[in-house]
Structure 1
Amino acid sequence: MSQEFNRGPAPQQNKDLFILTYGALVAQLCKDYEKDEDVNKYLDKMGYGIGTRLVEDFLAQSSVRRCHSYSEVTHIIAEVAFKIYLGVTPSVPCNNSSRNEFSLILDKNPLSEFVGELPAGRSSLCYCSLLCGIIRGALEMVHLAADVTFLQDKLKGDSVTEIGITFLKQPEEKKYRRKK
């Protein structure tokens, strides 16, 4: 399932610029909005918009084939998408027997690489909620409804950063018949 991509130095520069710019964006949103919940919603909404557009680029670059299970989808997100766009590969445990809940566990989160701690008085800020929106938006574009949330965050003292993905319904298999 793992694939190697040699995209040269430009993507690394783009990733670094995005990470630095992201910190400035979150800082500005904290100035613009009093409540952490409003900042979190804004970042999630922004991420959703990015995800709906990014999925096309991802499918063109990765040449992944159709997935046949939620497990396969989640491993593609971790092993291909995170590798391409953020240069990391999260681990992917399944969280239930129904095989529709998974976690993406990041030992190192590039988005919070230059952040020592959350701003004072911002304990409920979900600094990287943009990622949840991106994943949710991209999944919806391939007709997979999912609830995507942060379960653990190193910036809040947890040992890892963990994103939970719960697929909400089985995709319907459409069978096409030839007209005779």
Structure 2
Amino acid sequence: MSRQSNRTTDSKKMNSELFTLTYGALVTQLCKDYENDEEVNKQLDKMGYNIGVRLIEDFLARSSIGRCQDFRETADVIAKVAFKMYLGITPSVTNWSPAGDEFSLILESNPLVDFVELPDNHSTLIYSNLLCGVLRGALEMVQMAVDVKFVQDTLRGDNVTEIRMKFIKRIEENVPAGDE
């Protein structure tokens, strides 16, 4: 019986490592295809956004989470459920703004950066920028416009990885005429 559980753990670790290496190959190819880091960062954000737009349906179906009442509850669901479900980590939610419309996700470890070192000629590359796009795309699908950006990154020598999220506005659903 314990052998089977070890296989499950080994399988998850292998899947995680395969994903990390595949993601690394994607970023490497983008660096070859585009002239500068800023354009690569934009492409990673765009790809992440498209993933987030599609991933939210899977998340809502698998998690059975209802509509969040406020941005604080949204932050907790992102950290304690979404990151755990898809990346196997639970970031800390900290640094709330006084207005309660902005917070930081602190990642003690970022599985996307395992086995990664940024070359000197890519000092402005935001390697995990895909995550910002995923968060932005997923939240837009549940009528929340947010700004998401990296503030700190362990790949740049910081102690932790910090993603800053700012609530911009609630998106009103546009119902086509006659469908009311």
Report if TM-score (shorter chain) is over 0.5.
yes
Q: How do 1:120-139 and structure 2 match up within 5 A?
A: 120-139=120-139
Per-residue Cα deviation, 1:54-85 (whole angstroms, up to 9, x for no partner):
00000011111211010100110110000010
- Contact kept, 8 Å, 2:143 with 2:170, in 1: the verdict is no
Equivalent residue number for residue 153 of structure 2: 153
Q: Distance in 2 between matches of 1:11 and 1:61?
A: 18
Give deviations 1:93-127, integer Å, cap 9, x for gaps.
Answer: 14311101011100100000111x21221100000
Shift in Å at residue 15 of structure 1? 3.2
1:28 aligns with 2:34: no
SS for the counterpart of 1:139 is helix
Counterpart of 1:91? 92
Aligned to 1:52: 53
User: Aligned with 2:104: secondary structure?
Assistant: strand
CA distance in 1, matches of 2:39, 2:30: 9
Higher strand share: 2
Report the number of matched residues.
166
Q: Identical aligned pairs, as a percentage?
A: 60
Counterpart in the other structure of 2:162: 162
SS at match of 1:166: strand
Taking the aligned partners of 1:13 and 1:61, their CA distance within structure 2 comes to: 22
Structure-2 separation of matches of 1:80 and 1:13 = 22
Structural RMSD (CA): 1.9
Per-residue Cα deviation, 1:114-150 (whole angstroms, up to 9, x for no partner): 11x2122110000000000000000000000000000
Counterpart Cα distance in 2 of 1:139 and 1:9:
32
Structure 2 unmatched ranges of 5 or more: 1-7, 173-180
CA contact (8 A) 1:50 1:134 kept: yes
Secondary structure in 1 matching 2:19 = helix
More helix by share: 2
